[in-house]
Structure 1
Amino acid sequence: MGKNFIGLDTDKTQKLTEVLNELLSSYQIFYMNVRGYHWNIKGENFFELHAKFEELYDDLLLKVDEVAERILTLGHRPAHAYSTYIEKSEVPERKDVSDGKEAVGNIVESFGKLIAKQRELLSLAGEADDEGTVALMSDYISQQEKTVWMYRSYLGQ
């Protein structure tokens, strides 16, 4: 059993990195979806949703960078091609969405996929004794669970 430069099992971090790259792919597609919602939103809630979507895509961009840097910290290479993102993302690409409720519904669905993937990563990171990834995923999950509650409340759910 080999160890990487931060003292973690290389076989376990290989698997962890594969799943982190799946998460990175989902974040990238989700980010572009939300940019599209921001650009294309129309209707009576335009001002509120336009601002809310900008706040969300700014946060998603930070998370894209943090996940990529975590992969690098584990000694691997982050995915960096949109063809890979499309292939590995669990968040589907959304095009030409201008209806606010549809966009918010897609956001709730996407967060559900991210949270599930992050829970998987919590387990894998725990098995690998990777406290850095555990902490990152735990922070994301607790933030996003509250965000999902707020977006679902907007939808009247």
Structure 2
Amino acid sequence: MRQAAQSRGNQRISPSRRKAGQKRSALPFVPGEYTGRDPQGVGKVFNRFVSERGWNSPVAVGSVISRWEELVGPEVSAHCTPESFSDTTVQVRCDSTAWATQLRLLRSSLISRFDAELGPGVVTKIEVIGPAAPNWRKGLRSVKGRGPRDTYG
């Protein structure tokens, strides 16, 4: 290794023979060559760290939940919120039946948007849940039956 360094013109100078303020000679700089010690951006390091450990899917799951407004738009996110993410299915609760219907119509375009933003196969199904009807059971005992005859939502 010393012979290879000496053939490149690099010589080791002992600290006692070095002039004041003179640094130890380093390897010659070659543009575009990565030595492993070069500084890198945080995003590049984080992406390599995630891919080495096989965490791409869990990170993508977090991206769907945290970036929901950015991915679906402000109007849809104001009325529809993701509740859970299991396997490749996102469960979304809408605040009205009209918005639930609208989201069902937008389902295929949203999945293609998720594929473009997060990678293919992260989200393959969007399960739309409408608003929950109120519960009329009060107290310890209740009478079986359908309850009030009205629709909600």
**TM-score of the superposed pair, with normalisation by structure 2:** 0.24
Instruction: Name the structure where strand makes up a greater proportion of residues.
Output: 2
Between the two structures, name the one with larger relative contact order (CA 8 Å, sep ≥ 6).
1
Instruction: Name the structure where helix makes up a greater proportion of residues.
Output: 1
**TM-score of the superposed pair, with normalisation by structure 1:** 0.24
